[in-house]
Structure 1
Amino acid sequence: MDKEDKNQKSVNIGQLLRKARVDAGMSIDDVQKKTKIQKRYLEAIEEDNFAALPGDFYVRAFVKQFADAVGLNGSEFIQKYDQDLPGGENVNSIDNESREGQNYTGNQPEPAQSQQSSQRTARHDPSSPEPNHSGWNMRKLVPIVGIVIIVVIIIGVIWVGAGKLAHHNSNSASSTTSVSVSSDSSSSKASSSSKQKAAEDKAKAKSKNTKATGTQITKGSNENEYNVKTNEKETKVNLKGTTKSWSAVSVNGSQVWQGTLNPNQTHEVTIPANSKDFNVNLGNATATDITINGQKANLEKPANNGSAQVRNVTFKLTK
């Protein structure tokens, strides 16, 4: 398919989404409020200007959310027009090579057009030497064998140590001819007192930690809703990316920050006092940590096979 045909197909995606939005009686602002995606990204999608979006992954994520918001089935829409989205042909090429027996994972970044042509020629050249799979498998097997040996050694050490301990306890028991009832009672009381003291110390430490932070995070009605009980005047939300990830924060329905975090990069957003709730829109939830007033928010996995990456999480604030 030539470039002109490909561009024509890409135009159809924006036209289809725009038509569905108009048919649904929605404006771009309505879609932005529903999806929490920036208005300029939504306008770029309708204009098929996918280069304005953060990357190929976000193209598909945003198009799916756009389609769902205007009444279409986002998953079916993406599946139907996948080849017309950036990276679609590269995915198809990888599938074809997999059926031909090539060992290609599809995780490599998309190369330049000239590099793709040279790589296709190299892959289909009959004179090219076959990869040495046996040597690769042997290199892969060596660390596995080493791990197995280490595990066996550890188990052996534990076994020998347990045997010596059992033998020592047996000798100690045989050397003791009698034990008084009062000694047993004292030992039992001491053990009970020790356990009780440990439990009290643990409870005090937990209470002290709660008072120090003044913030508790609990799950709400579903896995995308959480309650935040805090005594702080202002709520500070810290976002940290473990890998490159896009995030946006909205307060009472209005977006106050959005951006892409690099690995180990953090960004702090201060939620104004007397705010009722705030929303965190995550482009890659599994690669983003959320901390509220020093307390980490542990997000539960979505139910019914929902997306664990693209998530829209609401935090309701209470005193």
Structure 2
Amino acid sequence: MSIGNSPEDERPFEDGRSEEGHEEEARPSVGRALQQARIAAGLTVDDVSSATRVRIAIVHAIEADDFTPCGGDVYARGHIRTLAKAVHIDPVPLLARYDDDHGGRPAPTPAAPLFEAERIRPERRGPNWTAAMVAAIVAVVGFVGFTAFKGGDSDSDATSVAQGASPSTSKPAKPTPSHTDSATPKSDPSDSAIAAAPQDKVTVQVSAVDGRSWISAKDHNGRMLFDGLLKKGESKTFQDSSKVNLILGDAGAIQLYVNGKKIEDDFQPGAVERLTYTKGDPEVG
């Protein structure tokens, strides 16, 4: 007894079915074709990932015909072409099959972004959120200085604080270390900087604390904020006016802070997670 229409089914064709119908059923999906070619070439998923620099999680997803982690049709077609060359098969039929299954070929895009998508590198292509966080800290320091100025006993103390000179009393001196720390270059803002972010925005900090992970982040308009590999010890911070969409290639390696609060979800190692956070997250209760 045979279950389904497996390509390996060697039963003779029934007379009542056309040869073209059998050819359509026997033709494997894009992911299945890449997997069969890889096995026939004697390669493992690790071998293909090392040769193409396409993440292992993405290779597994494509072989399972899940193209969501690719980040769009243009990137998916680029990955299909790269993987097909690595397992020594012609990518043209696979691209045609992908286009048939996903609504046709996408509009042409410049070659440079496609090349960068196929060769994932930890690039900093998003807006300079560090500068925005520094500006927020400076605003907080200014408010503290103004409060100290109002509580001062003499006009000379108020003048020194307003001009940025070292104040003579102990109370206005508190903002000085924070201002010095904020001027030191950092790759990502601290937790206190996230807490000082404007309340009318959503701020998400992604940190690779237990290993490296591929991540993708988009704003509420679907614009790509980041798409690449986050190495162990690195962090990225994303901010939008209403919503941040995330895809985590290895959620177990990631620690999330949303709007200054730690997310306590028990993500499993190697699990792919698709998350969306808004200004109201994390919810209370």
TM-score (norm 1): 0.30
Greater Cα radius of gyration, structure 1 or 2: 1
More helix by share: 1
User: Quick one: higher RCO (CA 8 Å, sep 6+), 1 or 2?
Assistant: 2
